[in-house]
Structure 1
């Protein structure tokens, strides 16, 4: 079975972002993929002052409606990450899993928010506009395997991935929007580490390029196998800025075959779960 990860440069033009995502979904389905994952904040990337205005409830979101329609039309599973409006001033960073019938079967709220103090432009505070999630979801059975959902900054906390593996995950998703400062030293290293320690496939869709004069992301969307090898990686060349608003095919994707028989053979040959010393340290 084949899975894909998308890469695009979302802006504050939600309608164009939706059409770029629809284009990736169509092309991934045409490439015989059964599942395609889209990046974090696929609906928009905008100044913090616009987040409340642009966020919508899942049930009435025009962006989500368009993605669901395309999933149904293309008969493919889709993972997409959006800003979910709430009754408060803040939104959830929500990762949705959508069936080929266009139904939303999971909605994961990002647990770890990007509140950091590095950078030349001062501290980053995702928590100013975003609510923390409260729970991990059970891995969901898809045609390519049992999928566990996490998001971007969650990648830095191995407990989430280890917990999903304990719950039966064979694939872990990390839709992301890594910064230009952390991307080069950390992105691939962390993805490969999570794949190795959980003996799972890791699917990492990514934002890339300049979203505004002030905001740029690293890209390098990739798929990592349970041995820790990068088996697919998107182009590292960012799109032009400012973007061509008419170009809805500006996003890209890469795909790979996921071999679950090999995954389970690897887990038997190196039985990490049976060897864990939970008599010495807590079970995760």
Structure 2
């Protein structure tokens, strides 16, 4: 039996309590919170999670240019490492099992002018080793997310994510799979999932349009069957978004509650329907 959650930052500027009420209404078990440890009232969030009998499944790191783990600028890289550590502390406090990590920030589609891809890869490895060792002591895991080529450049597919994890060689540093990015970058969903099976600790669900599951062309049946066959035991986390070029724009928007309700209900209903079908 999977734990179902949704990424709260997709609801934009909506108050966290409103989001939790929606998730509870449609049968979710928990929430994935944005990695903003400097802005969130964690005591209030803990109280609300208890009130609505929800869990915090994970922390979704928000990787902006000043949080660049691959940067060749020591100050930027140091700030990024500290940010991941602070997200790990946030996860520990909220009882979350993992923090999502993107090695190069959203919007960075090439190496910095004074650097190179090889140098930035090495920087990312070193950064993840330090952050991963910190996480291991909590214990919290780091989940490397591969973003598509239009959003970042260093880690775009699961093959590259696996290579990065195997170079880092820290057990707390693992991999997550995001179905939207996979729709762009992977030639075969099920083969890609089997390839990262030893490291897979988290899954994001969205259709090929990045909308709620069931609104696009993605065939979720073989995907969910493969997750079951490889023994995946993490949460199923919905991360649907409106059609924006930069996903972080959604975090600062004031969306329509009726659309959020529709997508939230539709996503869990579709995945549960698929799981019932495959038994």
What TM-score results when the alignment is normalised by the length of structure 2? 0.45
What TM-score results when the alignment is normalised by the length of structure 1? 0.44
Q: Which has the higher helix share?
A: 2
Q: Which has the higher strand share?
A: 1
